[in-house]
Structure 1
Amino acid sequence: MSGSTGAGDAEAFLRAHTALAHPPLVPEIALHLATEITPIWQATEAWLAQEGIEPPFWAFAWPGSVATARLLLDEPERVRGRRVLDFAAGCGLAGIAAALAGAARVEAAEIDPLAIAATRLNAALNGVAVETLAGDVVGQPCRWDTVLAGDVCYEAPMTRHILPWLRALAAAGAEVLLADPGRAYLPPDGLVPLLRMVVPVTRELEDRDTREVTLYRLLP
């Protein structure tokens, strides 16, 4: 393959290597998702002409995003009329749920160009407007009322990079909702648990059938 990352090429790649599916617990939303990780990972490496890339996080509905989406659809008043950021958006599931729940504006931030393309494609599929922010937004001043961060504490460097900024957003007045399914680098303090939810997962990704996700409000 060419290795091009143009928007049209990216959407064509996504359509060719994913299938339409509804994530667990969120039947209201349809997404372009991969059925297995190995084929989509190999195809992504070939398409980008690059080996050793990060897993294609955008190709799966991760448990943190599933739980966040379910919360927002069940309690739309949490985001109705608000400016929302879906941080490290992956496939855009949480941001799409926020838009369906009546958010005034939804932005989805991702460093992976394929995730940006997936979010755009999935938002269009569900008939909602989600603006995409390509690149690392950590450090930007707060312009959001609600920040959604699902499943982001899976690596120590990632957590060290993002956590001070997320706390600064909370200090600036944003409600930062952090959804974590038991990742190793979740901070030990400064979290107010809001609810817990058992989310079905695939053994290929998680080596188990379910994950218990806790949704927290992050304190400044």
Structure 2
Amino acid sequence: MSAGASGGAEAFIRAQTAIAETPLLPGLRLHLASEITPIWQASEEFLREAGIEPPFWAFAWPGGQALARAIRDAPAMVQGQRVLDFAAGCGIAAIIAAQSGAALVEAAEIDPLAIAAIRMNAALNGVTVTTLAEDVVGSPCRWDVILCGDVCYEAPMTAHILPWLRAMAAAGAEVLVADPGRAYLPREGLVALSTHAVPTTLELEDGTEKRVTIARLLPS
């Protein structure tokens, strides 16, 4: 994203969101939207692209909140480690990893607005997060820990990413997946580590609370 485009994206995010905290992570401040439909429509107009992906970056989804909370509760998970927040959304897990002493934190997203939001949210919380504006699936492993906030919500997405994530686990990375009960995450090859009750809204989910399990993904 060019400097001019980045500036336009930042202005758009400021206009469409408000700075707020999340239920599970008091003290963490993020640029968040209150409703999905208006910001989705506004994003389509801003990017001049109909049928774009939903603006996942504008919300603190249950999976990301739970994963970030797990790291805040047990910072040794990331201390001194090279961390990737994969499909990072608003960057909530990346920010908490940086606050918890990770040696390096990278956040990968293919949505240019998400990239801008991650940078803004990191700055808002006084941490450094390197953004990767690309699909990193297929990249060789250069991370110690890979954080996956909630990535198995569609069959095509799961089929695209899961073999790579398992390969990353086989290469020695600790791959942590937050599962709020999505249908497409396989039940096998996961070791549950913790469970978190995350308040949510009917605007985003099918209930007012999601129970999210943080699990380690095994190589096979």
Q: TM-score, normalised by structure 2?
A: 0.97
Structure 2: runs of 5+ lacking an equivalent: none
Structure 2 residue 127 is the aligned partner of structure 1 residue 147? no
1:101-148 C-alpha deviation (Å, 9 max, x unpaired): 000000000010000000000000000000000010001000000000
Question: Is the 1:68–1:179 contact (alpha carbons within 8 Å) kept by the matching residues of 2?
Answer: yes
2:26 match: secondary structure: coil
% same residue: 70
Q: Give the structure 2 partner of residue 108 of structure 1.
A: 107
Q: Which residue identity lines up with residue 177 of structure 1 in the other structure? A: L
**Residue 161 (structure 1) shift:** 0.4
**Residue 28 (structure 1) shift:** 2.4
Q: Give the structure 2 partner of residue 80 of structure 1.
A: 79
Q: Which residue identity lines up with residue 94 of structure 1 in the other structure? A: A
Q: Give the structure 2 partner of residue 13 of structure 1.
A: 12
Pairwise CA RMSD of aligned residues? 1.1
Structure 2 residue 57 is the aligned partner of structure 1 residue 58? yes
Distance in 2 between residues matched to 1:37 and 1:140, nearest whole Å: 32
1:25-60 C-alpha deviation (Å, 9 max, x unpaired): 101210000011111111111111222211100000
Q: Give the structure 2 partner of residue 211 of structure 1.
A: 210
Q: Give the structure 1 partner of residue 161 of structure 2.
A: 162
Distance in 2 between residues matched to 1:207 and 1:5, nearest whole Å: 39
CA change 1:209–1:5 in 2 (3 A) is farther
Distance in 2 between residues matched to 1:144 and 1:185, nearest whole Å: 25
Structure 2 residue 75 is the aligned partner of structure 1 residue 49? no
Q: Which residue identity lines up with residue 85 of structure 2 in the other structure? A: D
Q: Which residue identity lines up with residue 53 of structure 1 in the other structure? A: I
2:28 match: secondary structure: coil
CA change 1:197–1:141 in 2 (3 A) is same
1:85 match: secondary structure: strand
Q: Which residue identity lines up with residue 179 of structure 2 in the other structure? A: D
Q: Which residue identity lines up with residue 172 of structure 1 in the other structure? A: A
Q: Give the structure 2 partner of residue 92 of structure 1.
A: 91
Count of equivalent residues: 217
User: After TM superposition, which residue ranges in structure 1, 4 or more long, deviate above 2 angstroms?
Assistant: none
Distance in 2 between residues matched to 1:54 and 1:134, nearest whole Å: 15
Question: Is the 2:70–2:194 contact (alpha carbons within 8 Å) kept by the matching residues of 1?
Answer: no
Q: Give the structure 2 partner of residue 119 of structure 1.
A: 118
1:188 match: secondary structure: coil
Structure 2 residue 182 is the aligned partner of structure 1 residue 183? yes
Q: Give the structure 2 partner of residue 171 of structure 1.
A: 170
Distance in 1 between residues matched to 2:26 and 2:211, nearest whole Å: 19
**Residue 5 (structure 1) shift:** 7.9
1:111 match: secondary structure: coil
Question: Is the 2:10–2:117 contact (alpha carbons within 8 Å) kept by the matching residues of 1?
Answer: yes
Question: Is the 1:5–1:48 contact (alpha carbons within 8 Å) kept by the matching residues of 2?
Answer: no
Question: Is the 1:5–1:113 contact (alpha carbons within 8 Å) kept by the matching residues of 2?
Answer: no
Distance in 2 between residues matched to 1:153 and 1:127, nearest whole Å: 30
2:204 match: secondary structure: helix
Q: Which residue identity lines up with residue 60 of structure 1 in the other structure? A: F
Structure 1: runs of 5+ lacking an equivalent: none
1:55-101 C-alpha deviation (Å, 9 max, x unpaired): 10000001111001101111111100100000000000000000000
